[in-house]
C-alpha cells in the first residue's frame, strides 16, 4: 500500500474516534486501540469523549434559577429522557403564547420529531414549569444537559451574561441590524432585542438544529405580542461564502440579505470545533489566507463579508490569538483589512475551560481610512501604519514597557534559533503504570515541571525504568543524556531554567534545551534566561501559559563581553552550590548594567512579576 493510502487510513480512523492523527499512531503502536481505548477516550485529557457535566455558573446570575433548572436536569437524567424530548417538554409548557401562530407552528413541527412522550413526563414538567421569559433559561437547561465531550466537539461554550450586556450596550442602537453567526440559543440576540425593540433587525445562524430551534423560541418569547418570523437559520456560517447563499440554503427567508448588510456582527464563535477531513480541504480552498485551520479564524474572515463598511464586529476569542505563531495568519488579515478598536483581556470566564479569553472588536474599514469616532474610554488599541502586527496585539505591554523593550532591542543580540536543540520530556502514555513511587532495581529518578527551579532541580520522589519502546512519545536518548543541558518548565507564564549535568530524565511537563551559541557558556546562558530582564521580555512579548519553542527561539540573547559571561557563569555555579540569594542579585545587576537600565526602568521590570526565587 502506498504511503498516501496508509496516511488516508490513519486519518479516517483517527477522525472516527475523535483524536489527532499523531495520537492515533501512538495508540496503535502501544496497543491501546486493542485494549483500554474506551478508558483513554473518556479520560479528562480527551475532552471530545468526556461524559463529564458541569454547571456554567457564569451563564445566568440567578442562583435560585440554577437550583430550579438543576431539578429539571435530575429528573431528565433519572428517567433517561433524550435532550430534544426534554427541551420539548419545557417549551410546550410555556404559557401566554397559545394564540401565537408562529409559536404553534414551531411546537407542531417539533412534536412530529419527538413522537409520543409519556403522560407522566408531560404532567411533571407542567407541574414544575418556570418563567421562560427570564433570560435564556432554555439555553441554560440545554447547556446543563450536554456533556463536556459534546461541547468540545461543537467548540461550544456559552457566554457570561455580563459580557454579553457590555458588548451589546457598547455597539447596538435602536436601528442596528445585528447578526450573530454562531448564535446558539440566542443570548446575544436576546440582549440586543432590549435595545432594538424590533425582532426583524435580528439575525442568527447556527449549525446546531436544537440550538436554532431554542433561539427562535427565545425571540418569540421576547416579543410575545408580535407576529413575526424569526430570522434564525440552521446553516453553517462557514459552508458558503456569501450572505445570499447562506440564506438561500436556510430556505426560510423571502428577502435575501445582501453582502455587507449588518451594522453589528457579534458572537462567541466555536473554538477548535471538530472539522472532518473533507470539510478541512474545502475550507482551506475557500479561505486561502487562513493556514491554521482554526475555526474562529474562519469566522473572523467571514464576519468581514457580513458587516457593512464602517460596521462593527465583536468576538470572544482565546488569548492565544494574540501571540501564538500559528495564528499569525488571522492577525495579519485583521491588521491589513480592518481597524481594530478594542482588545480586552477577560481572563478565564468559561466553566470547564482553562484558556483565558479576550474580546476583540474591529471596525470593518481599511486601516488607512478615516477612523470612526471612538465609542468608549476603554480604547485599548490605536492602530497606525507604523505599528507592526505584533505591536497591535501586544495588549499586555504599557507604553513604558515598549520603551524598555525598544531599548533592549537596540543592542546586539543572538537567538536560539538554529543554535539549540530542543526535546520534549517523556510522554509515557500511562503515568499510573510507568511512574514509580519507590526506587526499584533498574529505575532512576524522573523529574516534572514542578521540580524545575532556577538553576536547580528539586529532589525527585518519583522513578522510572527507561525502556523507550514502552512509552507513547520519547525523544532521542542522547538528548536526555547530554553532558550538559537546561531543563525548563513547559506549563508556566514565566520562564524557569534548571541546569543539569547528571543526564537526568524528565516528563513532558519539563522540556529540554541544549544550547549551541558559539563562545557562550551554558551556565552563563542559564543566568541570562533566569534573569529578571529576560523574564520581563518573555512575559511582555508572549504571555502564554505554555513555554513554546518558537517563543524561546525568538528571545534576544545579549551579546556579552567575555568578562560578563565568565562572571555570570561563576555566579550561576556558586548559586547551584550555595543557594545564596546575593548571587541572584548580582546576576540581575550584571544584566541591568549591560542594557544601561536606570532605576525607574529596573523598578518597572522587577515590578512586572512575582519573583521565582525563594530563600532556603
Q: What is the pLDDT of residues 409-428, one digit of tens each?
A: 999 999 999 999 999 999 99
Q: If you average pLDDT over residues 218-238, what whole number do you get?
A: 90
Considering the domain architecture, whether residues 390 and 481 belong to the same structural domain is answered as: no
Q: How much is the pLDDT for 394?
A: 77
Q: How much is the pLDDT for 193?
A: 95
Q: If you average pLDDT over residues 195-219, what whole number do you get?
A: 94
Closest CA to 498 of 507, 508, 485, 509: 485
Cell of 349: 470566564
- Kindly report the CATH number assigned to the domain that includes residue 602: 3.90.220.10
Whether 56 is covered by a domain: the verdict is no
Range of the domain at 27: 3-41
Considering the domain architecture, whether residues 346 and 460 belong to the same structural domain is answered as: no
Instruction: Please name the residues in contact with 171: beta carbons below 8 A apart, sequence gap of 6 or more.
Output: 264, 266, 312, 314, 361, 375
Range scoring the smallest mean pLDDT among 270-279, 442-451, 542-551, 560-569: 270-279
Considering the domain architecture, whether residues 451 and 562 belong to the same structural domain is answered as: yes
The total number of structural domains in the chain stands at 3
Q: How much is the pLDDT for 134?
A: 65
Instruction: Please name the residues in contact with 10: beta carbons below 8 A apart, sequence gap of 6 or more.
Output: 21, 24, 25
Considering the domain architecture, whether residues 352 and 435 belong to the same structural domain is answered as: no
Considering the domain architecture, whether residues 180 and 297 belong to the same structural domain is answered as: yes
Q: How much is the pLDDT for 39?
A: 54
Whether 97 is covered by a domain: the verdict is no
Q: If you average pLDDT over residues 441-463, what whole number do you get?
A: 96
Whether 137 is covered by a domain: the verdict is no
Considering the domain architecture, whether residues 365 and 464 belong to the same structural domain is answered as: no
Considering the domain architecture, whether residues 256 and 167 belong to the same structural domain is answered as: yes
Closest CA to 220 of 318, 49, 99: 99
Please check the confidence at residue 51 and state whether its pLDDT lies above 60.
Answer: no
Please check the confidence at residue 29 and state whether its pLDDT lies above 50.
Answer: yes
Range scoring the smallest mean pLDDT among 139-143, 338-342, 512-516: 139-143
**What is the rounded CA–CA span in Å between residue 83 and residue 151?**
14
Whether 516 is covered by a domain: the verdict is yes
Cell of 156: 461550544
- Highest mean pLDDT among 151-155, 159-163, 456-460 belongs to 456-460
Considering the domain architecture, whether residues 253 and 283 belong to the same structural domain is answered as: yes
**What are the φ/ψ torsions at residue 95 (nearest 5 degrees)?**
-95, 155
In the chain, the percentage of residues whose pLDDT exceeds 70 is 78
Whether 365 is covered by a domain: the verdict is yes
Q: How confident is the model at residue 437 (pLDDT cuts 50, 70, 90)?
A: very high
Considering the domain architecture, whether residues 285 and 206 belong to the same structural domain is answered as: yes
Quick check: 267 and 182 in contact, CB under 8 A?
yes
Considering the domain architecture, whether residues 242 and 210 belong to the same structural domain is answered as: yes
Q: What pLDDT, in 10s, does the model give residues 502-522? A: 999 999 999 999 999 999 999
**What is the rounded CA–CA span in Å between residue 490 and residue 480?**
16
Whether 273 is covered by a domain: the verdict is yes
Closest CA to 565 of 516, 596, 513, 523: 523
Whether 132 is covered by a domain: the verdict is no
Whether 88 is covered by a domain: the verdict is no
Considering the domain architecture, whether residues 440 and 565 belong to the same structural domain is answered as: yes
Q: If you average pLDDT over residues 610-616, what whole number do you get?
A: 45
In which region does residue 427 sit, left (phi positive, over 0), alpha (psi from -120 to 50) or beta (all else)? beta
**What is the rounded CA–CA span in Å between residue 99 and residue 101?**
6
Q: How much is the pLDDT for 247?
A: 53
Question: Which stretches within 394-507 are classed as H helix?
Answer: 399-410, 431-434, 477-480
Considering the domain architecture, whether residues 367 and 474 belong to the same structural domain is answered as: no
Quick check: 132 and 95 in contact, CB under 8 A?
no
Amino acid at each position: 500500500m502506498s504511503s498516501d493510502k496508509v496516511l488516508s487510513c490513519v486519518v479516517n480512523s483517527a477522525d472516527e474516534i475523535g483524536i489527532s492523527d499523531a495520537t492515533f499512531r501512538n495508540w496503535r503502536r502501544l496497543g491501546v486501540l486493542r485494549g483500554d481505548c474506551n478508558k483513554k477516550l473518556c479520560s479528562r485529557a480527551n475532552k471530545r469523549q468526556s461524559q463529564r457535566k458541569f454547571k456554567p455558573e457564569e451563564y445566568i446570575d440567578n442562583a435560585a434559577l440554577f437550583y430550579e433548572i438543576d431539578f429539571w436536569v435530575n429528573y431528565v437524567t433519572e428517567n433517561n429522557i433524550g435532550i430534544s424530548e426534554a427541551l420539548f417538554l419545557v417549551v410546550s409548557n410555556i404559557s401566554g403564547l397559545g394564540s401565537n401562530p408562529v409559536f404553534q407552528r414551531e411546537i407542531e413541527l417539533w412534536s412530529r420529531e419527538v413522537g409520543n412522550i409519556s403522560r407522566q413526563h408531560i404532567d411533571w414538567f407542567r407541574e414544575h414549569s418556570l418563567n421562560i421569559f427570564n433570560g435564556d433559561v432554555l439555553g441554560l437547561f440545554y447547556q446543563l444537559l450536554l456533556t463536556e465531550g459534546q461541547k468540545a466537539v461543537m467548540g461550544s461554550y456559552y457566554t457570561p451574561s455580563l459580557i454579553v450586556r457590555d458588548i451589546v450596550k457598547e455597539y447596538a442602537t435602536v436601528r442596528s441590524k445585528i447578526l450573530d453567526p454562531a448564535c446558539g440559543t440566542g443570548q446575544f440576540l436576546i440582549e440586543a432585542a432590549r435595545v432594538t425593540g424590533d425582532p426583524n433587525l435580528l439575525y442568527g445562524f447556527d449549525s446546531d438544529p436544537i440550538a436554532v430551534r431554542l433561539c427562535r423560541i427565545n425571540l418569540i418569547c421576547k416579543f410575545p405580542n408580535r407576529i413575526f418570523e424569526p430570522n434564525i437559520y440552521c446553516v453553517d456560517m462557514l459552508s458558503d461564502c456569501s450572505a445570499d447563499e447562506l440564506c438561500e440554503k436556510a430556505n426560510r427567508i423571502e428577502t435575501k440579505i445582501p453582502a455587507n448588510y449588518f451594522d453589528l456582527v457579534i458572537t462567541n464563535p466555536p473554538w477548535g470545533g471538530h472539522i472532518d477531513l473533507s470539510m478541512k480541504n474545502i475550507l482551506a480552498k475557500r479561505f486561502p489566507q487562513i493556514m491554521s485551520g482554526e475555526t474562529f479564524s474562519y469566522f473572523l474572515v467571514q464576519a468581514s463579508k457580513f458587516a457593512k463598511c464602517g460596521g462593527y464586529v465583536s468576538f470572544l476569542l482565546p488569548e492565544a490569538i494574540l501571540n501564538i505563531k500559528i495564528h499569525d495568519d488571522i492577525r495579519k488579515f485583521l491588521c491589513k483589512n480592518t481597524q481594530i478598536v478594542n482588545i480586552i483581556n477577560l481572563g478565564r470566564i468559561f466553566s470547564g475551560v482553562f484558556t483565558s479569553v479576550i474580546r476583540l472588536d474591529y471596525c470593518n474599514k481599511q486601516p488607512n481610512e478615516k477612523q470612526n469616532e471612538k465609542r468608549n474610554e476603554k480604547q485599548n488599541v490605536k492602530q497606525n501604519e507604523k505599528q507592526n502586527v505584533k505591536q497591535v496585539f501586544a495588549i499586555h505591554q504599557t507604553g513604558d514597557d515598549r520603551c524598555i523593550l525598544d531599548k533592549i532591542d537596540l543592542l546586539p543580540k543572538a537567538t536560539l534559533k538554529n543554535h539549540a536543540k530542543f526535546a520534549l520530556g517523556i510522554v509515557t502514555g500511562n503515568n499510573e503504570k510507568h511512574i514509580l513511587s519507590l526506587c526499584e532495581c533498574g529505575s532512576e529518578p524522573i523529574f516534572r515541571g514542578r521540580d524545575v527551579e532556577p538553576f536547580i532541580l528539586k529532589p525527585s520522589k518519583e522513578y522510572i525504568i527507561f525502556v523507550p519502546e514502552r512509552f507513547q512519545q520519547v525523544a532521542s536518548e542522547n538528548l536526555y543524556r547530554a553532558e550538559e543541558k537546561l531543563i525548563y518548565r513547559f506549563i508556566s507564564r514565566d520562564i524557569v531554567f534548571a541546569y543539569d549535568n547528571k543526564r537526568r530524565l524528565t516528563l513532558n511537563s519539563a522540556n529540554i534545551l541544549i544550547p549551541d551559541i558559539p563562545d557562550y557558556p551554558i551556565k552563563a546562558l542559564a543566568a541570562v534566561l533566569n534573569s529578571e530582564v529576560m523574564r520581563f521580555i518573555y512575559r511582555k512579548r508572549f504571555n502564554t501559559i505554555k513555554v513554546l519553542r518558537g517563543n524561546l527561539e525568538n528571545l534576544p540573547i545579549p551579546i556579552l563581553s567575555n568578562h560578563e559571561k565568565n562572571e555570570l557563569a561563576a555566579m550561576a555555579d556558586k548559586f547551584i552550590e550555595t543557594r545564596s540569594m546575593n548571587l541572584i542579585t548580582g546576576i540581575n545587576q550584571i544584566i541591568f548594567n549591560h542594557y544601561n537600565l536606570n532605576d525607574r526602568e529596573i523598578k518597572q521590570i522587577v515590578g512586572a512579576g512575582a519573583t521565582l526565587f525563594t530563600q532556603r
